Structure 1
Amino acid sequence: MGRRGLAIIAAGLLAFAASGCTSQKTGSGGQPADGGKIKVGLVTKTDANPYFVALRDSARAEADKAGADLIALAGKFDGDNEGQVAAIENLVQQGAKTILITPSNSTGILGAIKNARAKGVLVIALDTETDPKAAVDATYATDNTEAGRLQGAYVKAALGSRTAKVIMLDGTPGSTVSEQRHNGFLAGIGLKDGDAGILGGDATNGEQNKAQQVTENLLQRDTSLNTVYTLNEPAARGAYAALQAKNLAGQVVIGSIDGSCQGVTDVKDGKVAVTVMQFPKKMAAQGVQAALEFARSGKKPGGFVNTGVAVITDKPLPGITSQDTAWGLQNCWG
């Protein structure tokens, strides 16, 4: 046989060997039949927000502890539905048998989730519910309506006899989390959209710089406010910077939601009156645990699992169960 024939045979053997290394047979429930690692996919809204970094790191730690392989992908920005769709398709191709996702668009992602589940992939929502909720197998998340309500109830109590004059710093338009927190806050403070007590508001995408700009724009129209609702702590920092520049921070009660160590420090320093802590580390760890159980036994989780909240303030008020910032700094993001 000539050199050319030998080269063809050798190339074929190499291709066969390579394909044998990358293919992975799976047994019942997704456990690799050849003893390989369980693959768990994670798709977050973005890698830029520290909240999702903490969620991802917790998921990775839980997977590493069990000897599983976490494949973490993310959208390019909060609201990047197309990026999340591509990430789900990528993870299915890589052989992930469970995908954990924090949906940027609770309806836009449904087609990709449906396709993944049709191929036997367990899909769990973290942090943000899909619409409808039954589009995923289970959800591990904060009750965002309740988080908003607690923020509103605290602010109302802090205002005392003063009539609320509030500006609303919301998140990304169309976001389920943004809508739930917005509506919860209004219920807690006792207002409705369109009431005279709402001086204005705008979307901030949860970004500090944008929140500062939005607050500056609103202050050009009216400086009589005494309350700022913020979707999250970066937005709260932006609002505080704008108010401080106008020497108005002392007259305003700023409330927020998240519970990062930085956010708790802002409460400790008096920049923010209250923050409602949520627990992304807990939701990520529980999601990975469910994924591992599915891989080992085929058992699926179901329904909505509320991972809880805690009101953090150094100025406790009657009727509001809260923890101080010392506790908050010990338990940031759970």
Structure 2
Amino acid sequence: MTSTQRPGSTGAAAGRRTVRASIAAVAAFSAAFGLAACNRSSSSDTGGSSGGQKTVGVALITKDSTNPFFVAMQKGAKADASKNNVKLTVASGKQEGDDQGQITAIEDSIARGDKGILITPMSTGVNAAIKKARDAGLYVIALDTPPDPANTVDITFATDNREAGKLDGQWAAATMAGKPAVIALLDLFNDKIVSVDYNRDQGFLEGMGIPVNDPKKNGDEAKTGKYTGGKGGDYTIVCNEAGNGAEDGGRTAMEKCLAKNPNINLVYTINEPTAVGANAALKAAGKTATIVSVDGGCAGVASVKSGVIGATAQQYPLKMATLGMEAIAQVARGGAKPTPDPGLDFKNTGVALVTDKPVDGVKSIDSAKGAELCWGN
């Protein structure tokens, strides 16, 4: 959430893709890996117990082990490991921002002699450890959060986070219907630069039709002006506050924003736990606002259905983990290396906007469909 990530070109390419095309591409990619897995059963590799395949050691290192998004990744990878004859080790930081926890897990993977690592990189603080792993011969795939720069890893399997933010912004602009937008931006960090953070935030602004300055920096856009999405109108950005991707952080961040301006009517949130926290703060203050978010977990989709979240961009962590693990196993057994999708510098695992209040010109699915595709509890 990347050479150096090209947010501008990524956003333009994403804008041309439909949700249907994204999902079709993911299905085709899954089929291709399934075929490759079948072909591997005739491999002459030895040392494993599955069809003559050698056992491949893989480490899955997530940011934490409590966020439903990362729990879904872990469960999906564990369920898929045996059929690919992968010896999977799961590790994580203690919480968002724990660079050292991930660094230790990377060093442990090298020491075990793993063939590859799947990682949702915490920040640029883990780049040196990733380089050490690659220098030791491990194939490293980033999941969900493309590192900066992108070539820190061999490849990234991720949601197009710029597109996810843009879908939220396009929907929000249309929903505002020309009314003044008084906006709170609840980001991930204020002390770390993470691509998933700025891509979602800046994508949201682009979707709203609000000019951004540095596309890889949050908070440097003009605080007042005109948004051109939907029918267009005036906007005021009240705050950029960090919620650390957590419900309690979202509530605290929203409280700070309301203290600056109690008339906030539009809230962008980095993820759904942050959105739930923001809603709690609004409710406690006797306020209401339109909230948009990213993730598409089952709890988040339920929040769309109940009206807490107006729209959320759904991503597919299980696909990231299982396809990434299969790719490492394939490479370790002498197969082809995965390549980025055309026009991108990562493998796109798809995104769909979930809302029960569709607007013209923005493709979406409803919460019933979102519930069929969601992950977590």
Shorter-chain TM-score bucket reads 0.7 to 0.9
Q: Which residue of 2 aligns with 1:95?
A: 113
Q: Is the 1:122–1:300 Cα contact (8 Å) retained in structure 2?
A: no
| 1:237 matched to 2:254 | no
Cα distance between partner residues in 2 of 1:110 and 1:208:
28
Amino acid at match of 2:174: A
Q: Which residue of 1 aligns with 2:347?
A: 305
Tell me, what secondary structure is at the counterpart of 2:262? coil
Runs (5+) with no aligned partner, structure 2 = 1-42, 213-220, 225-235, 341-345
Q: Which residue of 1 aligns with 2:56?
A: 38
Amino acid at match of 1:76: K
Cα distance between partner residues in 1 of 2:147 and 2:55:
29
Distance 1:333 1:34, change over 3 A: closer
Cα distance between partner residues in 2 of 1:241 and 1:126:
30
**Share of identical aligned residues, percent?**
43
Q: What is the deviation of 1:299?
A: 3.2
Higher relative contact order (CA closer than 8 Å, sequence separation 6+): 2
- Aligned pairs for 1:188-207 within 5 A: 188-191=207-210, 192=212, 193-196=221-224, 197-207=236-246
Amino acid at match of 1:188: G
Q: Which residue of 1 aligns with 2:202?
A: 183
Cα distance between partner residues in 2 of 1:170 and 1:156:
19
Runs (5+) with no aligned partner, structure 1 = 1-28
Aligned residues: 302
Q: Which residue of 2 aligns with 1:137?
A: 154
Cα distance between partner residues in 2 of 1:37 and 1:292:
9
| 1:165 matched to 2:204 | no
Tell me, what secondary structure is at the counterpart of 1:128? coil
Cα distance between partner residues in 1 of 2:275 and 2:256:
15
Please give the TM-score of this superposition, normalised by the length of structure 1.
0.87
Cα distance between partner residues in 2 of 1:56 and 1:50:
10
Amino acid at match of 1:171: L
| 1:109 matched to 2:148 | no
Cα distance between partner residues in 1 of 2:147 and 2:178:
39
Cα distance between partner residues in 1 of 2:269 and 2:360:
23
Please give the TM-score of this superposition, normalised by the length of structure 2.
0.77
Cα distance between partner residues in 1 of 2:352 and 2:185:
22
- Aligned pairs for 1:232-311 within 5 A: 232-249=271-288, 252-303=289-340, 304-311=346-353
Q: What is the deviation of 1:301?
A: 2.3
Q: Is the 2:161–2:200 Cα contact (8 Å) retained in structure 1?
A: yes
Q: CA RMSD in A?
A: 1.7
CA offset digits 1:28-48 (Å, max 9, x no partner): x9x674766321111111112
Amino acid at match of 1:328: G
CA offset digits 1:196-219 (Å, max 9, x no partner): 210112111111111111211221
Q: Is the 1:137–1:300 Cα contact (8 Å) retained in structure 2?
A: no
Distance 1:119 1:299, change over 3 A: farther
